[in-house]
Amino acid sequence: MKNKVELSYSVPLELWQVELEIKRSKFLTLANNASSRKEADDFVRSLRELHPQASHVCWAYIAGAPNTTVRSMSDDGEPSGTAGMPMLKVIEHSGYGDIVVAVVRYFGGTKLGTGGLQRAYSDAVAQVLVDMPTKIKVSRSHLKFIYDYEFEGAVSRLIGRYDVENTQSEYGANVVTCIDVATSEFNDLKAELINTTSGKINILADED
């Protein structure tokens, strides 16, 4: 069964970072926007390149709406369960989506122990989220519809009243229009398209 679609949710606006020092170990924590697994992986890879001398680059991400299953984490050499999972739990409870967090650790010579590591990584992520700039992301559904030229003006005016992005039209034997509409308006727009054209429209919908 699919999860209920999140109609809107908060995401990071831009790269944000904080730095902690715990028993001489430096924890540089960075949060960024990542709407796909590739974006999250690329971000972590870039940090490894920027910090080749770091002891560990641990990370976690939720690439999509807060309830998406596209999420992952890594301890990157820290004892199992002491870094990635605590980090992931913090962002899971934050309500944010499209988010990747990474903690770059420079070991200071004093071991923190299993509990100390879990607290350190949890606290590091919690702190980076405190003042992180965010924005609201509107979930969108893709619509493709095919209709006769006689309805072109009416359809154009109709979709102009909705929260729509990425409108593209092709003109052949019929008009073929593709749009990304706010998921909250998805059903209303479909119904109005049918009414406006008296049912003389072929609607292909992708709600994923």
Domains and CATH numbers, the chain: 8-136 (3.30.230.30), 139-206 (3.30.70.240)
Q: What is the mean pLDDT of the chain?
A: 94
Q: How far is CA 103 from the centre of its chain?
A: 19
Q: Which residues contact 44 (CB under 8 A, 6 or more apart)?
A: 57, 59, 74, 100, 102
Token look-up 């831009």 returns 14
Band of residue 208 on the pLDDT scale cut at 50, 70, 90:
very low
Amino acid at 205: A
- pLDDT value at 149 more than 50: yes
Token look-up 């049912």 returns 199
In the numeric block, which tokens belong to residue 134? 């965010």
List, for residues 11-43, the tens digit of each pLDDT value: 999 999 999 999 999 999 999 999 999 999 999
pLDDT for the residue numbered 5: 63
List, for residues 42-64, the tens digit of each pLDDT value: 999 999 999 999 999 999 999 99
